[in-house]
A and B are shown apart, each in its own frame.
Chain A
Amino acid sequence: MESRSRLFLLISSSLLCTLPLLFWPSGAAAAASDDNEPLIQPQIKPQPVKPARIDSENFEFGIFTGLLSVEDFGSNAVSGVRLAYHASEDIFVEVAYGRSTTQQTSYERLLGSVTLLTEEQRQLSYYNLALGFNLLPGEAFVGSGHAFHTDLYLIGGIGSTRFADDDRRTLNFGFGYRAIMNDWLALHLDARDHIFDIDLLGTQKTSHNLEFHTGLTLFF
């Protein structure tokens, strides 16, 4: 019994002594390679660089109000909205919508009892799509401390005018003056001729309808 326990102790102690020897060389190599690397691995992920967005201000939206002279139907107040896209420093495209209420013709006023149009038919509205060209860009000075960017532009396009229950094909052209107060606010002065055919008073004729308006627009 005693010899058996001695044998067990001998085997186990010899095993305990040889085991480290068996694993020593590989363990030493591993320790040597560890010395070259930092103990703590910093976790670096390449950060995707997202550049800040550059704010583009090529759209211009605004309102206008002024005077529209409708041939035979008097000069009347007109108001509307416009949206423009500036494609380059020279060229822009514009969509505009305006409306006005026309007056009685001289013929109706003189005769008194005659009415050519109903109240609803006297409402005039138009829309147009136009191409603008900044012809004379420049600067305007107010006093000695303020300079505003200005443009004198030519503009022309096609559209439709709804008047007296009919949609009328309309050509428009004119010029305008834009004074940019700061980076985003501009004042407009515009003169426009709306040309459409009308046959309300007997014969078909081409009418020129002049509009002068002033407006305020925002660049965004």
Chain B
Amino acid sequence: MCRNKMPAILLTLLLLLFTATATAADEYRQAKIADPFIELHSGPGRGFPIFYVAERDQWIKIIKRKTDWFKVEIKNGTQGWVHYDQLLLTLTPAGERTQINDPSGADFLHRRTEAGVLGGKFSGSEVITLYGGYAFTRNISTEVALSQALGTVSSKQFINLRLIHQPIPEWRLSPFFAMGVGNLRSQASATQAQAQDRSDSVAHVGIGLRSYLTRNFMLRAEYNRYVVFSSDDYNEDLREWKVGLAFFY
């Protein structure tokens, strides 16, 4: 039943996206060329041929952006793609430099949300983590992390809610401290006769490093120690390290 519904849901999603794209704002940002000229490429890439050159003092409309390329329209209706570097030298109607709100190192300090992917080792098996976080202040943030560790004996899925303290966010390599709680579900491999499926509470502490990379990207590495409050007589102590890439908004 669920499988039959999936294509319908996907189709609806696609249609929604389509309407969102079609009804995008008609009001475009205007800019005046301040360089002697700007070059209009036929596509959003460095290899596309330059088919038009617009001169200084002409007004352009900025229609959309793809990565570092901007689709612009000049007065006579010609549309083409201009690189970020050339657009930065254009002027706003108020006579100021055009401001493209690209995230920078300064925005990194004031980020509110971040999300990323990490990979590494969790007690001997490969682990993949997907996480999303929200920063309350420059120093304190919270995260939800979903992980899957795939070993030969069992596969583990765990979810963690964590609190992160980053004492010196200004540093290029900025350390952070984490602690949190969660749940670990351990599923025995089908070919392992003795092992059985389990679900246990976990708590962890960790240390890590964040480093601003470029635009809205950052690198991240961390080491965590988990205590699994297993239903057996003893608690398990597991270690995890991982590195990954994240982006912020």
Give residues in A with beta carbon < 8 Å to B.
Answer: 49, 51-58, 61-63, 79, 81, 85-89, 93, 99, 121, 129, 137-139, 147, 149, 158-160, 164-169, 183-184, 197, 199-200, 216, 218-220
Contact = CB atoms under 8 A, between A and B. Distances in A.
Given A139-B43, A165-B190, A57 B92 contact: no
B60 to A, nearest CB: 12
Contact of A129 (B24, B45, B63, B117): B117
B48 interface: yes
Nearest to A123: B3
Given A81-B10, A89-B45, A129-B128, A219 B100 contact: no
B47 to A, nearest CB: 6
Interface in B154-195: 155, 157, 187, 189-191
Contacts of A138: 47
A52 B191 CA distance: 60
A218 B100 contact: no
B44 A49 contact: no
B99 interface: yes
Nearest to A161: B150
Interface of B: 3, 7, 10, 13-14, 17-18, 20-21, 24-25, 27-30, 42-48, 62-71, 92-94, 99-100, 117, 119, 125-126, 128, 130, 148, 150, 152, 155, 157, 187, 189-191, 215, 217, 245, 247
Across the A-B interface, the 3 shortest Cβ-Cβ residue pairs:
A167-B155, A169-B150, A52-B29
A57 B65 contact: yes
Specify which of B30, B70, B155, B187 lies most central, judged by the most chain A CB atoms within 10 Å of its CB. B155
A133 to B, nearest CB: 14
Contacts of A183: 64, 66, 71
A93 B119 CA distance: 14
B120 to A, nearest CB: 11
Given A129-B128, A165-B190, A218-B17, A55 B42 contact: no
A166 B157 CA distance: 12
A31 B48 CA distance: 70
Contact of B68 (A52, A79, A89): A89
B69 A218 contact: no
Contacts of B44: 89, 149
B158 to A, nearest CB: 13
A134 to B, nearest CB: 8
A88 B143 CA distance: 27
Given A52-B25, A160-B148, A89 B46 contact: yes
